[in-house]
Structure 1
Amino acid sequence: MFQRDYFMRMISQMTEALGQVLGLRKQMKQEEALLVLDDLLDKHFRLSSKLIRSLSDEDLIKVMTTNGLVDTDHLQAIAVIMKQEGLLQGELGRETECYGMYVRSLRLFIRLSLMGAEPTIVEPREQIHELLGLLSAYELPDSAKRLLMEWHEAEGRYDQTENIMYELLESGGLSAEEAEGIYHRLLAHSDEALEAGGLPREEIRQGIADLESAVKA
């Protein structure tokens, strides 16, 4: 009961703070809005805003795990705040900071979706699609692409899994052996599932053959 009450208070305070951020954005007071987000991070997550921003998503998940249980509610809240910070940094013309926050938020939401986290604050899948739109003009780092590839596979979008797989092969972010392993994993699915995912079995077999030829060349 105590945890639930605490969570509801946090949601209420987050909603109030994000409303304040929106109001400040409309007044072109983005720097003040960033301070509101800093304060929100400092108050609710047992860690300073500086530390939260310095941790990788893997380390952040470890910190937010107690007795094997991941606090997905807090992670959702942090991902939402990072996305808001990205919006503010973008409006201030700080492209590097904006990009960094969007990517961090995207990675967290992908991990939450892969965990099957309940959408207690926002729907992770919707946030992923929105962030991909915001990042459409940029090249994602290979580490984020690998995570996105895993998510597409989990969601049954096998054609998009393959597309990212080839991007990673081209950049050197994925080995031919890893790619072949992905193809073989996909072959375990039914013909119906593969067709629905946009990657028929024959195309997978052809992809494996192409990889093997490239390795031999």
Structure 2
Amino acid sequence: MVNRDYILRLAEKLGRTLAIVLRLREYNQQEEALLRVDEELLRATGLTSSFLNSLSEETLIQVLSPLGRPNVDAALWAAVLLKAEGEIYQDIGNTTESYYRAVKALHLLLYVHQYEPIEEVEILREDIQMLIHTLDEYTLPVSTRQLLFRYQEHLGFYAQAEDTLFELLEDTPGDKALLQQGRDFYQRLSIRSAPDLAAGNFSPEEIQEGLEQLTRFSN
């Protein structure tokens, strides 16, 4: 695991770069902002924006995880810069390009979150929440929703995690691995206290109801 202080220092560098991009956007210099983002992506990852955006979310993870774990520097730079790039495309009314970059940015942040304490860093925590809100009206890719499910449980948003779980089951019927993840999810919740469950908008009764729903899906 990367040291928390290292993540904080990295976040400061990200913030300084984003401030430059934001200033360009404020002066309606969107083309210059896109060029700056591309330059920073190439510097941080060795890859251009066009190449990164040609990859699926799963392939993008593989490219930025050469040893099966994320290259934290490259992954966080890519995530934050792709988010910024998506916002620039939103400025100029290109919602399609904006959407694809937002999905990749969210996917990367949720992936890195599994390994590193990035939710402790305000700018990164806010980026995740902003991307989730931005993409709320869209159906996310299955792989991204699987990461979102784990993230929601980690934060104690149990009702939201359950909603995501059953959306996934609706879209991938008969997925035995996902059904097992669901059973494991309820097993973990079963040892939570009632106040903890209530804080996540959940209850012991809903655990049993959820398990019964899983049984119906498995049949």
CA distance in 2, matches of 1:15, 1:197: 31
Structure 1 unaligned spans of 5+: none
Q: What is residue 36 of structure 2 aligned with on the other side?
A: 36
Decide whether aligned partners of structure 1 residues 67 and 148 sit closer, same or farther in structure 2, where only a CA change above 3 A counts.
Answer: closer
Q: What is residue 197 of structure 2 aligned with on the other side?
A: 194
CA distance in 2, matches of 1:169, 1:15: 38
Tell me if the contact between 1:57 and 1:104 (Cα under 8 Å) persists in the aligned partners: yes
SS at structure 1 position matched to 2:41: helix
The 10-residue stretch of structure 1 (71-80 or 207-216) with the greater mean CA deviation from structure 2: 207-216
SS at structure 2 position matched to 1:115: coil
Q: What is residue 19 of structure 1 aligned with on the other side?
A: 19
Instruction: Say yes or no: does 1:166 pair with 2:166.
Output: yes
Q: How does 1:1-217 map to 2 (within 5 A)?
A: 17-65=17-65, 70-118=70-118, 123-172=123-172, 175=175, 177-178=179-180, 179-213=182-216, 215-216=218-219
Decide whether aligned partners of structure 1 residues 61 and 11 sit closer, same or farther in structure 2, where only a CA change above 3 A counts.
Answer: farther
One-letter code aligned to 1:28: N
Structure 2 unaligned spans of 5+: none
The 10-residue stretch of structure 1 (171-180 or 134-143) with the greater mean CA deviation from structure 2: 171-180
CA distance in 2, matches of 1:194, 1:120: 22
Aligned length: 210
The 10-residue stretch of structure 1 (38-47 or 100-109) with the greater mean CA deviation from structure 2: 38-47
Higher relative contact order (CA 8 A, sep 6+): 2
Compute the displacement of 1:191 (Å): 3.8
TM-score calculated relative to the size of structure 1? 0.78
Decide whether aligned partners of structure 1 residues 211 and 118 sit closer, same or farther in structure 2, where only a CA change above 3 A counts.
Answer: closer
The 10-residue stretch of structure 1 (183-192 or 200-209) with the greater mean CA deviation from structure 2: 183-192
Compute the displacement of 1:161 (Å): 0.9
One-letter code aligned to 1:205: Q
CA distance in 1, matches of 2:27, 2:167: 41
One-letter code aligned to 1:25: R
Compute the displacement of 1:28 (Å): 2.3
Amino-acid identity (%): 33
Tell me if the contact between 1:72 and 1:117 (Cα under 8 Å) persists in the aligned partners: no
One-letter code aligned to 1:212: T
Q: CA RMSD in A?
A: 3.3
Q: Describe the superposition over 1:31-66 as per-residue Cα deviations: whole angstroms up to 9, x where unpaired.
A: 221111111112232333333333445544554457
The 10-residue stretch of structure 1 (94-103 or 133-142) with the greater mean CA deviation from structure 2: 133-142
Compute the displacement of 1:82 (Å): 0.5
SS at structure 1 position matched to 2:214: helix
Q: Point out the structure with max Rg over C-alpha.
A: 1
Decide whether aligned partners of structure 1 residues 153 and 135 sit closer, same or farther in structure 2, where only a CA change above 3 A counts.
Answer: same
TM-score calculated relative to the size of structure 2? 0.77
Tell me if the contact between 1:114 and 1:154 (Cα under 8 Å) persists in the aligned partners: no
SS at structure 1 position matched to 2:140: coil
Q: Describe the superposition over 1:76-134 as per-residue Cα deviations: whole angstroms up to 9, x where unpaired.
A: 22211011101011112111110111111111111222223357976432211111122
